[in-house]
Structure 1
């Protein structure tokens, strides 16, 4: 079993600072772990110690946890994560590496691997693959919505919880319900103390819609560029209708092996961690195709 306590590290590139946790030793297979929307690298605290023979670096993505926030004029469009992912790999000295990712992080991983297929060795994805394809005719309305929301969230005052326990309770009962243990792990990493209590460290602009969304042809283009083997865990109690939505997509890509597992959207933080580690561990080490 990998060591339970990770090392806290900081990565610098392009005047950006990414906070991260590292498990394993330098000689292990390099794996970059990417969390989901409004989460942070503590998302992997339960799964990471179960993965042997891996040099695992779990990062706080831009705008999350303890990492940098983008400039006031920037956006958090999903495809922009690819630039940071490659920058992180360069800061680590990794030319070839695998990606272990959850939800929004999984979508960012597919976009990155499709853009730079020679850099990514394997994809191990949890309850996320590609976003729902947008219709071309929706583009003007999507852009208008994104601009309005970015202004609104840029000016939004942070919500303050009177106690840390109150913040944990809010995370526990959020969009995707979590156990006390999982909610506390994310809150410990993702809250800041201030006068009057605690607030989330996430950039409020993460709540704004993307300025543009991928259409069906673009989604297929990224998937078609995945030359590496892919394993995908789908949570039986995860995002509504996602399994049904992805089934016809998966049918066209023989290199993507999917497996449905019991659990909620954050099953890797809950009882599903052991089953995921059993399937992902040999795969990420390169012991199996």
Structure 2
């Protein structure tokens, strides 16, 4: 199968207190293990991780929190290494390590099986779980998901993304373009400010090498886990067409939903449409015989 090797960029009833920081915690055998900082919303039997993207911590899901079905689902919003309460956590900052971190957190929470929602880079993390713990996954949903084949940039694009680690104007330019150039300046400013405050610059740069440069599509391809991709019609980078060439061609039980009014940040841009689309997909697991965790 021909996989794209280059994608061009044109022109979240019960809330548990977050863990007290990203420090390593002792285990019974004297070793240490890292626990992703997280917060839980809802106490439904269908457990779901929500994983943020490159520009944000778990607050990326703030706009959808009021509309979550907390009866059917129990959501755990996490901070990946280098973000939010895990800003000071050591790397590696890779999608593979993030998948392992999620499995360890599932063990800690007592979740035998679970679903995963992942935005952008978080969508790549969700696909990594297809290779790490497929037997524990009920469903995955990628919101503008980075392909498992990565997104290797060259030339000016490579410089734009690499320098975004320390240049606010680069982050703003990327957010503006990928939201279709239609969002107000105040929203762009808020997104950039939040991104700078909630991410460590060195980790941010290291994450780029993983989600953009690593290709694990051959390992994920053929997975029978139901997989929904939600694409924003206004997103020129991870467009519906990119999803069709990647996600839809790799996963036999894949689905594609296109949100006409969204760019790359559907959680902010179209939160009601997004949560309805994703929860309908997750809820279908019960109709197809998926049992509780």
TM-score of the superposed pair, with normalisation by structure 2: 0.70
For structure 2, the 5+ residue unaligned runs are 1-11, 26-31, 177-182, 289-293
* Residue in 2 that maps onto 1:9: 18
* Residue in 2 that maps onto 1:30: 47
SS in 2 for 1:275: helix
Deviation at 1:24, TM superposition (A): 1.1
The list of structure 1 runs, each at least 4 consecutive aligned residues, that deviate by more than 6 angstroms after superposition, is none
Cα separation, 1, equivalents of 2:170 and 2:50: 21
Deviation at 1:70, TM superposition (A): 4.1
Q: Give RMSD over aligned pairs.
A: 3.7
The answer to which structure has the higher strand fraction is 1
TM-score of the superposed pair, with normalisation by structure 1: 0.71
* Residue in 2 that maps onto 1:245: 242
What CA deviation, in whole Å up to 9, does each residue of 1:85-110 have, x standing for no partner? 11111121111111011000011111
SS in 1 for 2:60: helix
Q: Report if aligned partners of 1:16, 1:68 keep a CA contact under 8 Å in 2.
A: no
Once the two structures are superposed, the pairs formed by residues 204-215 of structure 1 within 5 Å of their partners are 204-208=202-206, 209-210=208-209, 213-215=213-215
Cα separation, 2, equivalents of 1:244 and 1:266: 17
Cα separation, 2, equivalents of 1:20 and 1:182: 26
What CA deviation, in whole Å up to 9, does each residue of 1:223-262 have, x standing for no partner? 32x2221111011112426433332331353300011112
For structure 1, the 5+ residue unaligned runs are 136-140, 160-166, 192-199
* Residue in 2 that maps onto 1:232: 229
Q: Report if aligned partners of 2:229, 2:243 keep a CA contact under 8 Å in 1.
A: no
SS in 2 for 1:264: coil
SS in 1 for 2:19: strand
2:65 to 48, 66, 71: 48
Q: Report if aligned partners of 1:24, 1:55 keep a CA contact under 8 Å in 2.
A: yes
Structure-2 change in CA distance of 1:278 and 1:171 (3 Å) = farther
Aligned residues: 248
Once the two structures are superposed, the pairs formed by residues 80-91 of structure 1 within 5 Å of their partners are 80-91=97-108
* Residue in 2 that maps onto 1:20: 38
Structure-2 change in CA distance of 1:184 and 1:259 (3 Å) = same
Once the two structures are superposed, the pairs formed by residues 1-289 of structure 1 within 5 Å of their partners are 3=13, 6-10=15-19, 14-25=32-43, 27-52=44-69, 53-67=72-86, 69-71=88-90, 74-132=91-149, 173-177=172-176, 180=186, 184=190, 187=193, 191=197, 200-208=198-206, 209-210=208-209, 213-215=213-215, 218-224=216-222, 226-240=223-237, 242-249=239-246, 250-262=248-260, 263-270=262-269, 272-285=270-283, 286-289=285-288
Q: Report if aligned partners of 1:7, 1:22 keep a CA contact under 8 Å in 2.
A: yes
Cα separation, 1, equivalents of 2:192 and 2:37: 14
Cα separation, 1, equivalents of 2:138 and 2:111: 11
Q: Report if aligned partners of 2:82, 2:204 keep a CA contact under 8 Å in 1.
A: yes
Structure-2 change in CA distance of 1:239 and 1:57 (3 Å) = farther
Cα separation, 1, equivalents of 2:87 and 2:33: 10
